[in-house]
Structure 1
């Protein structure tokens, strides 16, 4: 097997296959998992694996390239036919994958008479609880998506658990294992987790909290009907999840099912037999997949803290869910609050109501006074808890914390996560249960009614934008005042033609066209005032995470917002531009406004690479602090730069590349 250098137009995705219906076969006792069946099945389908992309011919994916390859004029050597079965594993390019458990099947796991599979990887232990192996990779055909940066292929490897788990057997340790494997393989561009549907919403909720300061896409998916069946939903679910993961940076833990991408901590499984098994009743989908892929960028969370990604590796097991019912006794409640229990999610009636019996309220108050964290959510799938009724207010008076519109799965996993943080007091845990940490609940609606946009307001805004352009392009402080009026022809002609006036929407569209140019220019010149003007409220400290569909910031149609708008020619974001020019102030402001550190331009380079190549040490330090890493494509160019710096004895450059995570020769002086 051979490793390969990552091309600029290729994304790398790790599929963590935990088990579930998606990869099962029909056995004597129903559906059963079979090791390596999923990988070999995907390899045989050209939609999931195009052997023409495996360096078998030049100009892959084009008509001429295929004709050259099929006529034997492409690579100059014989190659397996597209989709051919029995291709030796040694011919498949590999990807280095790490795990907290041994990779592959140990001999002890084989049934009597069963031989070691021919595609068994060679696993090596490299540290305590860290194993690695080179797994054969698959690659999709080149494809383009709406809002993308051109055609791109997706190379992926499948890290298969042994044994494969039915999701009903998933436990806290398994959630932590998934989070750990994402952390160990964070050099991949994105992650897809294959999982059984029964407890998938619990896992997606738990991972949303365990994956702290996430900067890459993580998607859970599965199937109601396995891939082995002629009629199934596995193909669409896996292809949809893989496509979104490979083409977009949506830095959240998500769940994809039936052509819809949801926020992972907002979903519940509602049906055991519909192909549309999941729903997010209190929050709109992040992506709808039809003929087009429509991403609701307004609602996508963006990281605004300057912290590196890490996986939290502990959750408190001392939590439970108690569903109220008419006639529930205080003995039942007291049983739930016995040690070592530390937290309880209370599923209440309607908008947060509970029976008003004195014995029950006394039991709840005593538990809360002892330090128990009790969180109230609604038994209704849609809606939130409130204190609109007296029966709800008595719970709050007893010390119960309102859980807003969180799902039962989310409330339980969030409580488990917060209680595992030993540095948090009981009061802090209670306070944070009502605060959105990963967009898991809807903020209380503001009483202020936002003003409607008007034509005059938009024209005034455009005048400000154009004035900023003049300010950035001319050094003189005496700048002309630009004035725009909607009337560009004389009134007589206008009356005779009776044209439609310029609408507020048209003015807003003009503004949206100008802003991307302005934000790039401001980033290049390190003009903080103009950059803050472009970024608006986010630059002034407001959260970049939108948790209510009623909130509609400007430029929501731009992937990741205006802060991540791409130059049409180079594919560079404002962060690329600021890093290339060594503008540390702009880099800092952009990061705090939600700039994505893992974006790559059309050449395949990250902002960190450009900053390191230019020797901008302060910018490199800031980007690394925010979790930036060099992409696999950056690595080859960085190796060349390190060799040149080593020959020139440029210790400063060597230190910068070392800070980026590159290995430096030990003999440098």
Structure 2
């Protein structure tokens, strides 16, 4: 049965496709072994705490070690392999997992009696191409969330592919399969994909496009040296990916390797023998893991469309990469661009240059005129294509589209994604391929003219900020549930100071820090009062030349739109949903509010809106991809019992809209008429 969910846990699905990370040494080198990875992780307390509800939940602590050394435990509480195997619990808790393929070992791979896994997962077919199985779950020791005063455990299950694939055998259908399995299991909080390193950059790029309107963290990782070896990078890579996935909502498809989290469509494999196998030449890392975990929130993408997540399940196979070389001929290009090719990634010299021979230029122009989408990128690891040189402008005049600073892996998969969309015309594909869809290329720089010195600008920002506070304080609160605001002592500003007093002097850093402290209070107050003017003021686009804006966005996980109140852990979206403020909720969602954030009690904004009976907010949040969390459902089930005793079934209809189902059975919004109240 599925374990009960508390607020100090997150659920992560690990999709194990294959790769070096889970291999063993065989006669022919490294070979995959079914279920070795799961059993190996189960034997290590850093990856699985068998007594996470008891003494062993303090693994790594002074008291945990003292209890263990006194004889209260049978395995080390500080990580590593257990000194003695723990008896297998026949009633071990499980997590329900879905897949587009049968889950378990086929007859061809039936384990021997001495196989590490004593019982194979049993799956049932629930519909066409959908299978379910209760997989044994593992749980990490509780660890402190960086920057917060609570500890959290990560409960995860490993969905292992059968057979396991070497990444060199990965193809388009495997990318679609991963995307489908994420969609089928979207009730999990986050996803980690274990993958071979050879084509990991292709897979992370492809998934960044296939996972449309993604609202949860997806991380690909693997290893250069398998977990089975004493000296390996598998432990750090898997633990780092699990930790980030379980503790942060970074709604992107990412790649984690060597203590660094990258945007998935910005990476390329740089080395076949270094532990730092990947790099992101044209875009900074999203997360750096050292003693502290440092998240570069300024660069994290936030979904601003009011759409639910879905997996796109097609990709055109008729795309290819052509690398220019000195002496290439028009004949070669014509042969390469023949049908059924529909898209070509042209790897050009330097900043987008190509040979200027007539046969080469004419061959490219013929392909473009015939409807082949040709996108130019640079062969260099760093840099972008441009029209700075005449040889580059000639390509553009032939119909070739500049691909900016996209990697070859990204450009190829993006072309395959766009050309698989029947709703896009050829002209639309040409326009979109050179535009950023998932942060895969850098926008052209915009010149920003500063009208006044930075110090004066920051002082004006503070004055505008205080003006918003004064205006909000004059608005009657009526029935609004206003967040509790405790202004820090060093941020207190006395606006009634005599004019004769000495003027308040500022450094840029002082002004920026004060703004960063005051903005969260203002955005919560504006959300509670449904004050759109103040919300728009808080959520205005960041000015990268203004240090206060950089601090305002960079100091808060997920940006100012997702700042959490200290006492309750509620975001501005929680506050707007609880108060039934539809316009504020929509504005926050369009500014990048995360619908899956949970407060200190484990509640989502969707739960709070349904609990208060705000049906219009429930409709908006569901449209935007919100779902009730597992911890929400424990509360909802008790609420429904009381609701069914009431003559008015409106609350039941709202809960059904929010996603509540009796015993997981399908139900429509009019189902209240089908259910009789309890006698």
Number of the residue aligned with 2:639: 641
User: In the TM superposition, what whole-angstrom CA distance separates every residue of 1:436-478 from its partner, at most 9, and x where no partner exists?
Assistant: 000000001113345676232222221222222222222389x
Counterpart Cα distance in 1 of 2:676 and 2:158: 39
Name the SS of the counterpart of 2:509 in structure 1. helix
Name the SS of the counterpart of 1:201 in structure 2. helix
Number of the residue aligned with 1:329: 329
Matched, 1:530 2:534: yes
Number of the residue aligned with 1:605: 603
Counterpart Cα distance in 2 of 1:312 and 1:446: 33
Number of the residue aligned with 1:37: 36
Q: 1:537–1:668: structure 2 CA closer, same or farther, 3 Å change rule?
A: farther
Structure scoring higher RCO (CA < 8 A, sep ≥ 6) equals 1
Q: How do 1:412-561 residues align onto structure 2 when only pairs under 5 Å count? A: 412-450=412-450, 454-475=454-475, 501-537=505-541, 552=550, 554-561=552-559
Q: 1:70–1:4: structure 2 CA closer, same or farther, 3 Å change rule?
A: farther
CA drift of 1:72 comes to 11
Q: 1:380–1:553: structure 2 CA closer, same or farther, 3 Å change rule?
A: farther
Matched, 1:10 2:9: yes
Counterpart Cα distance in 1 of 2:345 and 2:633: 47
Counterpart Cα distance in 2 of 1:294 and 1:485: 39
Counterpart Cα distance in 1 of 2:392 and 2:353: 4
Q: 1:643–1:585: structure 2 CA closer, same or farther, 3 Å change rule?
A: same
Number of the residue aligned with 1:207: 207
Name the SS of the counterpart of 2:554 in structure 1. coil
Number of the residue aligned with 2:123: 123
Name the SS of the counterpart of 1:333 in structure 2. helix
Matched, 1:247 2:247: yes
Number of the residue aligned with 2:561: 563
CA drift of 1:66 comes to 8.7
Contact 2:519–2:552 (CA under 8 A) maintained in structure 1: no
User: In the TM superposition, what whole-angstrom CA distance separates every residue of 1:157-204 from its partner, at most 9, and x where no partner exists?
Assistant: 000000000000000000000000000000000000000000000000
Number of the residue aligned with 2:582: 584
Counterpart Cα distance in 1 of 2:76 and 2:285: 40
Q: 1:59–1:385: structure 2 CA closer, same or farther, 3 Å change rule?
A: closer
Counterpart Cα distance in 2 of 1:451 and 1:149: 42
Number of the residue aligned with 2:399: 399
Contact 1:110–1:116 (CA under 8 A) maintained in structure 2: no
Larger mean CA deviation between 345-354 and 527-536 belongs to 527-536
What TM-score do the two structures reach when normalised by structure 2? 0.90
Number of the residue aligned with 1:494: none
Number of the residue aligned with 2:197: 197
Counterpart Cα distance in 1 of 2:511 and 2:49: 46
Unmatched 5+ stretches in structure 2:
478-492, 663-671
Counterpart Cα distance in 2 of 1:189 and 1:278: 26
What TM-score do the two structures reach when normalised by structure 1? 0.91
Number of the residue aligned with 1:219: 219
User: In the TM superposition, what whole-angstrom CA distance separates every residue of 1:418-441 from its partner, at most 9, and x where no partner exists?
Assistant: 000001011100100111000000
User: In the TM superposition, what whole-angstrom CA distance separates every residue of 1:319-368 from its partner, at most 9, and x where no partner exists?
Assistant: 00000001112221111111111000000000101111111111111111
Name the SS of the counterpart of 2:539 in structure 1. helix
CA drift of 1:80 comes to 9.3
Number of the residue aligned with 1:270: 270
CA drift of 1:112 comes to 8.3
CA RMSD of aligned residues (A): 2.8
Number of the residue aligned with 1:628: 626
CA drift of 1:232 comes to 0.5
Number of the residue aligned with 2:489: none
CA drift of 1:483 comes to 5.4
Unmatched 5+ stretches in structure 1:
492-499
Q: 1:597–1:452: structure 2 CA closer, same or farther, 3 Å change rule?
A: farther
Contact 2:187–2:629 (CA under 8 A) maintained in structure 1: yes
Counterpart Cα distance in 2 of 1:476 and 1:193: 51
1:658 to 656, 660, 668: 656
Contact 1:80–1:87 (CA under 8 A) maintained in structure 2: no
Counterpart Cα distance in 1 of 2:582 and 2:200: 42
Counterpart Cα distance in 2 of 1:354 and 1:249: 43
Counterpart Cα distance in 2 of 1:6 and 1:39: 22
Counterpart Cα distance in 1 of 2:476 and 2:218: 48
Counterpart Cα distance in 2 of 1:452 and 1:24: 61
Counterpart Cα distance in 2 of 1:515 and 1:96: 41
Count of matched residue positions in the alignment of Structure 1 and Structure 2: 643
Number of the residue aligned with 1:280: 280
Contact 1:351–1:378 (CA under 8 A) maintained in structure 2: yes
Q: 1:644–1:366: structure 2 CA closer, same or farther, 3 Å change rule?
A: same
Number of the residue aligned with 1:495: none
Counterpart Cα distance in 1 of 2:116 and 2:475: 72
Number of the residue aligned with 1:342: 342
Contact 1:89–1:136 (CA under 8 A) maintained in structure 2: no
